[in-house]
């Protein structure tokens, strides 16, 4: 993982090489939640910059898409059977918020810490965003009944809430490729398309009027926006970083820093070989005849 700015300058993190995914910075930027996959197991880890500690929080279960509570005290994540939460200081055991045979993915917790927006897929519906009342600050996690928010073409919506809590950005593939859209939160039934040539994983700048997203070919884009009354107006997107970051499919591979000037990204593994050589396949014919010839000689 690397810090990356718009000029292309990359600064690596003091972490060992591993198969990383789903990086997510804490609200104050002091910690990083992420997932390491080893074989069929994917575990949640948290790295603390101030203490220089790196700790695993789950043990051999399939874990994806960690998100932080607004106060930074809890991490909520998806696993087999539903959505779970755990205290970020390591105290206490993980607790289950939802239980479902369908895949469920947490997207964000509202600023008041009382509602979790998550997406769910099922055989009947390709994807749906839902709002779940939660209480996780009292020591025992509790959740109410989820309410529908909007239908989507896929469970992978990557929904994100604007800093003022009034706008919802998300990805949808209703017209073919994924595109990034914005609509009011709570929903008023209208949406604005932001991306113009594919896009997923929208990220709001906390200090300005920029909405970032990643294209499906792993490039970072940005669009300036403004709000007039109840209307959201987005400018034409432009390239923020033109080179490709690591391709991990639809797994999350970036997060925006608090200052809005840097991304924490997964970068492709460095190699001294050219890309052509890395993807080159050599077909050797009559291999064992050649081995016998050389041995006999």
pLDDT beyond 80 at 125: no
Rounded average pLDDT over 179-191: 91
Residue 87 CB neighbours (<10 A)? 18
User: Of the ranges 55-69, 87-101, 119-133, which one carries the lowest mean pLDDT score?
Assistant: 119-133
For tokens 């490709």, name the residue: 244
pLDDT beyond 90 at 266: yes
Are 58 and 44 in contact, with CB atoms under 8 Å apart? yes
What's the confidence (pLDDT) of residue 124?
Answer: 65
Query: Six-digit token pair at 83?
Result: 């959505």
Query: If pLDDT is split at 50, 70 and 90, which confidence band does 71 have?
Result: very high
Share of the chain above pLDDT 90, in %: 68
Q: Which of 240, 186, 189, 190 is nearest to 211 (CA)?
A: 240
What's the confidence (pLDDT) of residue 140?
Answer: 81
Are 79 and 95 in contact, with CB atoms under 8 Å apart? no
pLDDT beyond 90 at 35: yes
Q: What is the 3-state secondary structure (H, E, C) of 108-135?
A: EECCCCCEEEEEECCCCCCEEEEEEEEE
What's the confidence (pLDDT) of residue 226?
Answer: 96
Query: If pLDDT is split at 50, 70 and 90, which confidence band does 122 have?
Result: confident
pLDDT, greater one: 278 or 234 = 234
Rounded average pLDDT over 250-256: 95
What's the confidence (pLDDT) of residue 271?
Answer: 41
What's the confidence (pLDDT) of residue 176?
Answer: 85
pLDDT, greater one: 278 or 296 = 296
What's the confidence (pLDDT) of residue 272?
Answer: 34
Query: If pLDDT is split at 50, 70 and 90, which confidence band does 20 have?
Result: very high
Query: What are the structural domains, with CATH classification, of the chain?
Result: 2-272 (2.120.10.30)
pLDDT beyond 70 at 52: yes
Query: What DSSP string runs through 54-90?
Result: EEE-SSSSBEEEEEE-TTSSEEEEEETTEEEEEETTS
What's the confidence (pLDDT) of residue 170?
Answer: 97
Rounded average pLDDT over 53-78: 93
Exposed, middle or buried: residue 101 (CB in 10 Å: 0-12, 13-18, 19+)? exposed
Rounded CA separation 245/255 (Å): 12
Q: Which of 168, 172, 158 is nearest to 126 (CA)?
A: 172
pLDDT, greater one: 13 or 292 = 13
pLDDT beyond 70 at 282: no
What's the confidence (pLDDT) of residue 174?
Answer: 83
Rounded average pLDDT over 106-135: 91
Are 152 and 128 in contact, with CB atoms under 8 Å apart? yes
What's the confidence (pLDDT) of residue 100?
Answer: 92
pLDDT, greater one: 36 or 277 = 36
pLDDT beyond 90 at 132: yes
Paired strand residues for 132: 116
Task: Work out the mean pLDDT of the chain and round it to a whole number.
Answer: 88
Query: If pLDDT is split at 50, 70 and 90, which confidence band does 157 have?
Result: very high
Q: Which of 69, 66, 60, 71 is nearest to 83 (CA)?
A: 66
What's the confidence (pLDDT) of residue 270?
Answer: 64
């Amino acid at each position: 993982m690397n810090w990356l700015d718009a000029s292309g300058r990359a600064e690596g993190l003091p972490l060992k090489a591993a198969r990383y995914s789903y990086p997510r910075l804490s609200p104050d930027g002091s910690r990083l939640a992420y997932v390491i996959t080893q074989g069929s197991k994917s575990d949640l880890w948290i790295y603390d910059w101030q203490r220089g500690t790196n700790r695993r929080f789950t043990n051999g279960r399939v874990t994806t898409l960690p998100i932080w509570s607004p106060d930074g005290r809890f991490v909520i994540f998806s696993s087999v059977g539903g959505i779970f939460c755990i205290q970020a200081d390591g105290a206490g055991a993980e607790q289950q918020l939802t239980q479902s045979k369908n895949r469920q993915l947490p997207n964000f917790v509202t600023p008041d810490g009382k509602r979790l927006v998550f997406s769910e897929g099922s055989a009947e519906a390709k994807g749906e965003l839902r709002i779940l009342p939660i209480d996780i600050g009292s020591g025992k996690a509790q959740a109410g009944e989820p309410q529908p928010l909007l239908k989507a073409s896929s469970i992978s919506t990557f929904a994100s809430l604007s800093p003022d809590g009034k706008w919802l950005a998300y990805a949808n593939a209703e017209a073919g490729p994924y595109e990034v859209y914005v609509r009011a939160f709570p929903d008023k039934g209208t949406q604005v398309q932001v991306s113009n040539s594919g896009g997923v994983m929208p990220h709001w700048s906390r200090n300005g009027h920029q909405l970032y997203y990643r294209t499906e070919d792993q490039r970072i884009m940005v669009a300036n926006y403004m709000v007039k009354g109840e209307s959201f107006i987005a400018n034409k997107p432009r390239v923020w970083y033109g080179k490709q970051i690591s391709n991990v499919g639809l797994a999350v591979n970036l997060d925006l820093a608090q200052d809005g000037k840097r991304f924490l990204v997964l970068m492709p593994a460095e190699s001294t070989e050219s890309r052509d050589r890395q993807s080159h396949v050599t077909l050797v014919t009559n291999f064992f005849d050649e081995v016998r010839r050389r041995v006999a000689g």
